[in-house]
Amino acid sequence: MSDGFDVVVVGGGLVGASAALAIAHAGCSVGLVDRARPQPSTGDFGMDIRNIACSPASRDLLAGLGVFPGLDAVPYRRMQVWEERGTAALEFDAEEAGRAELGWILENAPTVAALWAGLERHPRVTIRLGTVTGLKCTAGQVHVALSDGAIGARLLVGADGARSVVRELLGVATTQLATGQQALATIVRTGRPHDGTALQRFLLDGPLALLPSREASASSVVWSQSPPEAERRMALADDRFCAELETAIEARLGRILAVDRRFVFPLVQHVVDDFNPRDRVLLIGDAARVLHPLAGLGANVGFEDVRDLRANLERLPAGSDPGRAGLWRTFARRRRVRARLMVAAMAGFRYAYAEGSPTLSWLRNGAVGWINGNATVKRQIIREALGLGPLAAAW
């Protein structure tokens, strides 16, 4: 065994890199394993098409890791939510929650690059590039076989994404919920500036979101829809796609003038049966659960894993074994309950808005209208969504 660490983290994406850095900040030696160093990723407009809506709670985590101040974060101050059938809408404003912003849009690649820069500077972090080919859990250590050697740790954290090799090698069962949808992602330039406003419209075929970009008249698009519609829209000429999107969003940003490259990916929600499937092994981020992107919660819930993980390590006496038996059972139960609640909530939203019956549409519009007119209720919803309310704090 060439290297031994307190903790080995497999996966160097947003959640894995932030976990490795948080663990190092907690005083542990960390080995980070990934196939390759992250590479810049930009579309034709010079921006990463992949991005996250970063909540204030997630921003605090990244700031504590010394990452956030250097990011080109785009604050969004308002959000408008409405549906294809109905007249009522929800309008959230940061001022209603006593804040300057609801959150920030972060491009994926620059955020990961900033996390890796922090990892490379940290004296307790070692980066190993290679593929995980085998795992063996013993009483005192996890042995990780790599394509070019091996390493060991007292605790292994699998943060290697929705197609987790760690999860696969350990044979961890998952509960899957097919959404019957695919997501089409791109960036568009618009006739009117976004003015720091996020838009989400629930269409019968799936939710459509436009999020502010760092260009005043550009927005990133995530459009959930049936596979046949996704295939059809991928094949459209740019001007035809722009016209359809403009109609779908009711021209809230004026004309859709241009579109970047388009990507499609399947939407499948899943939750692992156990976040702590073996002694000395944890699963976090998309390796543990994947959520529908309609509320932009995926990365933020992964960052919740990281905060909880770090808090557990910081409570340990100096020199304690971070992987000892039973230490992570409460963590695993909490994270799994939270994940199952979120998967159920996303499925509920999706199916409620996809149901086109007049009665349900009338009920939805009545409820939306009542919420939008009740300042106290709206304020609490905003604070919970931002990770600042009592329910969010419980996790």
pLDDT in tens, 40-88: 888 999 999 999 999 888 999 999 999 988 788 999 999 888 887 765 6
Three-state secondary structure of the chain = CCEEEEEEEECCCHHHHHHHHHHHHCCCCEEEEECCCCCCCCCCCCCCCCEEEECHHHHHHHHHCCCHHHCCCEEECEEEEEECCCCCEEEEEHHHHCCCCCEEEEEHHHHHHHHHHHHHHCCCEEEEECCEEEEEECCCCEEEEECCEEEEEEEEEECCCCCCHHHHHHCCCEEEEEEEEEEEEEEEEECCCCCCEEEEEEECCEEEEEEECCCCCEEEEEEEECHHHHHHHHHCCHHHHHHHHHHHCCCCCCCEEEECCCEEEEEEEEEECCCCCECCEEECHHHCEECCHHHCCHHHHHHHHHHHHHHHHHCCCCCCCCCCCCCCHHHHHHHHHHHHHHHHHHHHHHHHHHCCCHHHHHHHHHHHHHHHHCHHHHHHHHHHHCCCCHHHHCC
pLDDT at 376 over 80: no
pLDDT at 383 over 60: no
Can you tell me the mean pLDDT for 107-135? 96
Task: Supply the pLDDT for residue 368.
Answer: 46
Task: Supply the pLDDT for residue 267.
Answer: 85
pLDDT in tens, 145-190: 999 899 999 999 999 999 999 999 999 999 887 778 899 999 999 9
pLDDT at 132 over 70: yes
- Of the pLDDT bands very low, low, confident and very high (cuts 50, 70, 90), residue 92 is confident
pLDDT in tens, 285-299: 999 998 877 655 678
- Of the pLDDT bands very low, low, confident and very high (cuts 50, 70, 90), residue 364 is very low
Can you tell me the mean pLDDT for 223-229? 94
Q: Where in the sequence of the chain do the CATH 3.50.50.60 domains occur?
A: 3-76+104-175+269-356+387-393
Task: Supply the pLDDT for residue 366.
Answer: 46
Task: Supply the pLDDT for residue 357.
Answer: 52
Pick from 167, 145, 150, 129: nearest CA to 36: 129
Task: Supply the pLDDT for residue 381.
Answer: 52
140-141-144 Cα angle (round to 5): 165
CATH topology of domain 3-76+104-175+269-356+387-393: FAD/NAD(P)-binding domain (3.50.50)
Pick from 392, 154, 162, 349: nearest CA to 272: 162
> What is the rounded distance in angstroms from the CA atom of residue 20 to the CA atom of residue 32?
7
Task: Supply the pLDDT for residue 365.
Answer: 46
pLDDT at 107 over 90: yes
Residue, of 3 and 259, whose pLDDT is higher: 259
Percent of the chain with pLDDT over 90: 64
> Which CATH class, in words, describes the domain spanning 179-266?
alpha beta
pLDDT at 1 over 70: no
pLDDT at 224 over 80: yes
- Of the pLDDT bands very low, low, confident and very high (cuts 50, 70, 90), residue 89 is confident
Task: Supply the pLDDT for residue 13.
Answer: 96
